Amino acid sequence: MDLLSIAESTVKIVLILGLPSLLVSMIIGLVISIFQAVTQVSDASLTFVPKLILVSFFILISLPWMGEHVQTYTKDLWDLMLIFGEK
């Protein structure tokens, strides 16, 4: 395994961990935008507060899953350091 594959796996783990929260935020924003278009209410806090609350709640729910991925990735990096250190 070389440096390029380590960088590739780092980008992959960042995308895996970040994408679900971004998708939840996008879906919430779409629902709120449709609500604002139907009711013609244009308040900036109407989009910010629900997104903040729901995305924070989603992150709290998914923390064990995220922690498992980060733990596995970190263990793999430490194993690589041991392999490269022996050479």
Token pair for 58? 């989603």
pLDDT band at residue 1, thresholds of 50, 70 and 90? low
What type of residue is 82?
A: L
pTM of the model: 0.76
| CA 57/CA 7 separation, integer angstroms | 30
Looking at residue 41, the DSSP 8-state letter turns out to be -
Q: Specify the 3-state DSSP secondary structure of 16.
A: helix
- In this structure, the dihedral spanned by the alpha carbons of residues 75, 16, 60 and 79, taken in order and rounded to 10 degrees, is 0
d(C-alpha 29, C-alpha 51), whole Å:
7
Q: Which tens digit of pLDDT belongs to each residue from 25-77?
A: 999 999 998 988 898 888 777 888 889 999 999 999 999 999 999 999 999 99
